[in-house]
A and B are shown apart, each in its own frame.
Chain A
């Protein structure tokens, strides 16, 4: 049997579930609309040259929201629907099916780019050129990976209950602000700036904005590594916590109980 078969089956199942769910697609449908707000502000101020910023921010926010609010719910939803017991009992390791599903949901966030592009060109008649398209592509792939890693960590935290939900509802905008998703971090107070590189969105936003400029990219390898590394770190911790949590739930016979 191909080692990829469980992953492919999991992805197919997730596609079927998500394409029927408004909730799963909600960030893709709504977050790109922020491009309308950002572009209106820049155009009104006579700064259409910042249109790239107005495209980068909602795209990253869409991917991140898919991670924070949709992908992070996969384990909880499986538990609610009594699927988790079956997945844990199956001979295939749980992570072989869980990780591809989380990756897929985060990758779906990239579809928001179509909506953002349509608003930029269709409503405001602005065309934006990526001077380093391969850097932009690599950044987006690694952003999906890092967002998925963060979603896995959050999925693990949700096993702890209500306080994690409060965290989920509270964490997004503070992170977007600290990471400089829209306004670069040099505009933040200096005491806040040291926190920025700890958030994967900081590296993603910086790389995407630089990929819009004709200037040569600086420290590219290091920045891409930092982006991927933060995702790997969060995902590793998430996998560790989730594995231990599931072991405990199995021992307690509480895997299917909520």
Chain B
């Protein structure tokens, strides 16, 4: 019960911070414009290649990955308590750090879902990408699943960078570029050498994105469901790693007396 309360307070802090940064007008006119421009920037490569297949592949991949981009803000957001000076208080409080951090960063998960859905719809209209009906109804839950999966992964990265907050944006951006390169956003996973494919299959975007491509391509429901299940398995793995290590990372900071110092 107390964990739920801590989570809700964390969520409230995250929401206050989010609304301090974006208003409805700046979110739609600023953030969403930038995100759609970013997805279009990559999708336009399909135009350059004069290949409708590439265009379609890049539109779907980039319409989804911008959601991962938004969710991945969880990585820098995990360190903001250190900058605010509230991190030592969270560490010494009797509650675990886990519900507080998950609560505070969960706003980026919600932002990611909204961002990805809005971008996918906009890009599908602009580039005239058809979605078969009624399987199109699966897109929203699958986008939610992908964003949740990236969130679990980002929590792990976030717990790592709380030990070195100055690296937060480097880790955030590098991780995102890796997802864009290796997880089937820009080219099929099979393009890469075998060992890269093994890693890609353990990353959060790969299976969920394959499921969404299945929806767009009218693939059998069993194939979509199989990818969705794999996505849940990968998410659960990353969540378990994050939960198991989050308090330990804080303990390590407490042991060497570094939690009050922000580098």
- CA of A50 to CA of B46, assembled, Å: 13
Determine if A23 is an interface residue (Cβ-Cβ < 8 Å): yes
Report yes or no: B177 in contact with A36, Cβ–Cβ below 8 A: yes
Q: How many A-B residue pairs have CB under 8 A?
A: 101
The reply on B34 being an interface residue by CB < 8 A is yes
Residue from A45, A50, A167, A171 with most neighbouring chain B CB atoms (10 Å): A45
B80 at the interface (CB under 8 A from A): no
- Let me know if A177 and B40 touch, CB within 8 A: yes
Given A22-B166, A173-B37, A36 and B47 contact (CB-CB distance below 8 Å): no
Is A177 within 8 A of B44, CB to CB?
Answer: yes
- On chain A, the residues within 8 Å of B122 by CB distance are none
Partner of B180, one of A37, A174, A177, A181: A37
Q: Is B133 at the interface (CB under 8 A from chain A)?
A: no
Shortest CB-to-CB span from B185 to chain A, Å, is: 8
A187 beta carbon closer than 8 Å to chain B: yes
Contact: B191 with A169, CB < 8 Å? no
What's the tally of chain B residues with a CB closer than 8 Å to chain A?
37
From 155 to 208 in chain A, residues with beta carbon under 8 angstroms from any chain B beta carbon are 163, 166-167, 169-174, 176-177, 181-184, 187-188
| Interface residue? A113 (CB, 8 A) | no
A184 contacts across to B, CB distance below 8 A: 48
Known A26-B173, A47-B49; contact A41-B186, beta-carbon cutoff 8 A: yes
Task: Give min CB distance, A126 to chain B, whole Å.
Answer: 15
CB closest chain-A residue, reference B190? A44
Task: Give the most central of B26, B48, B174: most A CB within 10 Å.
Answer: B48
Flag whether B261 is at the interface (Cβ < 8 A): no
Assess whether A29 is interfacial by the CB under 8 Å rule. Answer: yes
Interface residues of B in 22-42 (CB under 8 A from A): 22, 26, 29-31, 33-35, 37-38, 40-42
Cα–Cα, bound, A166→B30 (Å): 7
A33 to B37, CA, bound (A): 19
A82 interface hit (Cβ, 8 Å): no
| Contact A29–B191 (Cβ < 8 Å) | no
**Which DSSP category, helix, strand, loop or mixed, fits chain A's interface?**
helix
Q: Is the pair A40, B187 in contact by a Cβ cutoff of 8 Å? A: yes
Q: In the complex, are the beta carbons of B174 and A29 less than 8 A apart?
A: yes
Give the residues in chain B near A19, CB-CB below 8 Å: none
Judge whether A172 and B186 touch: CB under 8 Å.
no
User: Cβ of B170 and Cβ of A30 under 8 Å apart?
Assistant: yes
CB of A130 within 8 Å of the partner chain:
no
Given the known interface contacts A40-B191, A50-B48, A166-B22, the answer about A23 and B177 at a Cβ–Cβ threshold of 8 Å is: no
Residues of A within 8 A of B21 (CB): 166
Q: Which residues of A contact B42 (CB under 8 A)?
A: 37
Size range of the chain A interface in the assembly:
35 or more
The yes or no answer to A117 lying at the interface (CB within 8 A) is no
| B163 to A: closest C-beta gap in Å | 13
Contacting pair B37 A174 (CB below 8 A): yes
Known contacts A41-B54, A166-B26, A170-B30: does B187 contact A22 (CB below 8 Å)? Answer: no
B243 within 8 A of A: no
Residues of A within 8 A of B58 (CB): 41
Is A219 among interface residues, defined by CB-CB distance under 8 A? no
A44-B187, A166-B22 given; A174·B49 CB < 8 A: no
Q: How many Å from the CB of A153 to the closest CB on chain B?
A: 18
Alpha-carbon distance between A33 and B166 when the two chains are bound, in angstroms: 19
B174 close to A183 (CB less than 8 A): no
Q: What chain B residues lie within 8 Å of A37 (beta carbons)?
A: 42, 177, 180-181, 186
Is residue A21 contacting chain B, with contact meaning CB distance below 8 A? yes
Instruction: Considering the complex, give the chain B residue whose CB is closest to the CB of A174.
Output: B37
| B51 part of interface (Cβ distance < 8 Å) | yes
* Residue B258, interface by CB 8 Å: no
B17: Cβ under 8 A from any A Cβ: no
Q: Please tell me if the beta carbons of A182 and B44 are within 8 angstroms of each other in the complex.
A: yes
B90 within 8 A of A: no
Contact partner of B177 (CB less than 8 A), chosen from A33, A44, A172, is A33
Chain B residues in 8 Å Cβ range of A41: 45, 49, 54, 58, 186-187
A26 engages B169 (CB within 8 Å): yes
Q: Could you jot down 6 A-B contacts, CB within 8 Å?
A: A26-B170, A30-B174, A45-B49, A169-B30, A173-B37, A176-B41
Known: A37-B186, A41-B54, A45-B49. 20 other contacts (CB 8 A): A21-B166, A33-B173, A33-B178, A34-B177, A42-B45, A42-B49, A50-B48, A163-B26, A166-B22, A170-B26, A172-B34, A173-B35, A173-B37, A174-B33, A176-B41, A177-B41, A182-B45, A182-B48, A183-B45, A187-B44
Residues of A within 8 A of B (CB): 21-23, 25-26, 29-31, 33-34, 36-38, 40-42, 44-45, 47, 50, 53, 163, 166-167, 169-174, 176-177, 181-184, 187-188
- Counting from the closest, the 8 A-B pairs by CB-CB distance are A170-B30, A30-B173, A173-B38, A173-B37, A183-B44, A22-B166, A174-B37, A33-B177
